[in-house]
Structure 1
Amino acid sequence: MTAPNTRVTDEPTAPDVDLHLPSQRRQSWRAQGPIVAVVAIGGTIGATARYGASLVWPVAAGGFPWTTLWVNAAGCAVIGVFTVLITDVWAAHRLVRPFFATGILGGFTTFSTYAVDIQKLVQGGHPRTGLAYLAATLCAALAAVWLAATTTRRMVAWRQR
């Protein structure tokens, strides 16, 4: 009888991979390394674009954070279009999705700034504005991704007829 596997890992691994073996650690890094690299590069691009938007359209203290709301809604719309295109229209290279969706759009859209904006509004004596922003961003993001994906699916179906 064998002892139960009491090894606890923080990362999910395939059942046939033993990261205690150096050769399998190298194989794992070879497979994941390019993905990590393209996500990092894409994230840098996306975060830089978001920072640029905040410089172009600054928000006054206590004011409604329109820039972050529109950035998040626009990013959600693009992810809606992108997801339909790479799943329904063409097979993309394995690094396209991590680079564009996780990297660029993940860096461009921002939950952390959204949360900090709400916190600043509430602590600054504008709880109603913070609550309105919380709800508006959620509704705008969900509506944007749904509308973009639905519209793209219809356009793709129309072109394929």
Structure 2
Amino acid sequence: MPSLIRAHADLLPAIAVGGALGSLARWGIAEALPHSGGDFPLATFVVNATGAMLLGLLMAFVLGPWSHTRYVRPFLGVGVLGGYTTFSTYELDTRGLLAADAPATAAAYLLGTVVVGLVAVWVGVTAGRLTIAVATRRARRRRGHEIAPQED
């Protein structure tokens, strides 16, 4: 195990800085969208949904054009998005809604977060793949125009 840690020790600062940035972003959203008692926890819902979409988008790039990079996935995926998303708060919020005698809100939140999260990942992956495809086509066209002889 120590050799595994030594082999990846250079990733730890990237993960730590990313995690701090993601956590600060989550805190900012929680401050902007506070909730109490039996209210729908909108901040956590927004954070987890947008985080799922961003993770899907990131994975499209990490498995595609950024596959050769060493620090992007640990920094953005594990660090930023790991610090940003908060499924532990999601569980705590659900428990709080049940304790506040708001079972319908708890059920909507519990199921809605999962469904919206899965759709958001799909949207992110799809958007990433489309973006990569468009960029690839444009790059090929540009290369083709550079190679083609110009007419006078």
Judge same fold: TM > 0.5, yes or no: yes
Instruction: Report the equivalent of 1:157.
Output: 133
1:89 aligns with 2:89: no
Instruction: Report the equivalent of 2:143.
Output: none
Distance 1:29 1:160, change over 3 A: closer
Instruction: Report the equivalent of 1:112.
Output: 88
* Partner amino acid, structure 1, of 2:59: T
* Partner amino acid, structure 2, of 1:118: T
Q: CA deviation at 1:115?
A: 0.3
1:98 aligns with 2:74: yes
Q: CA deviation at 1:56?
A: 1.2
| Runs of 5+ unmatched residues, structure 1 | 1-18, 20-24
1:126 aligns with 2:112: no
Q: Distance in 2 between matches of 1:122 and 1:83?
A: 35
Q: CA deviation at 1:55?
A: 0.7
Identify which of 114, 131, 140 aligns with 2:116: 140
* Partner amino acid, structure 2, of 1:58: P
1:64 aligns with 2:64: no
**Two-structure CA RMSD over aligned residues (Å):** 1.5
Q: Distance in 2 between matches of 1:138 and 1:59?
A: 20
1:49 aligns with 2:25: yes
The 3-state SS of whatever aligns with 2:18 is helix
* Partner amino acid, structure 2, of 1:126: A
Q: CA deviation at 1:29?
A: 3.2
Distance 1:89 1:109, change over 3 A: same
TM-score w.r.t. length of structure 2? 0.82
Q: What number of residue pairs does the alignment pair up? A: 137
TM-score w.r.t. length of structure 1? 0.78
| Runs of 5+ unmatched residues, structure 2 | 138-152
Q: CA deviation at 1:151?
A: 2.2
Q: Distance in 2 between matches of 1:48 and 1:141?
A: 21
Instruction: Report the equivalent of 1:6.
Output: none
Distance 1:108 1:61, change over 3 A: same
Q: CA deviation at 1:92?
A: 4.5
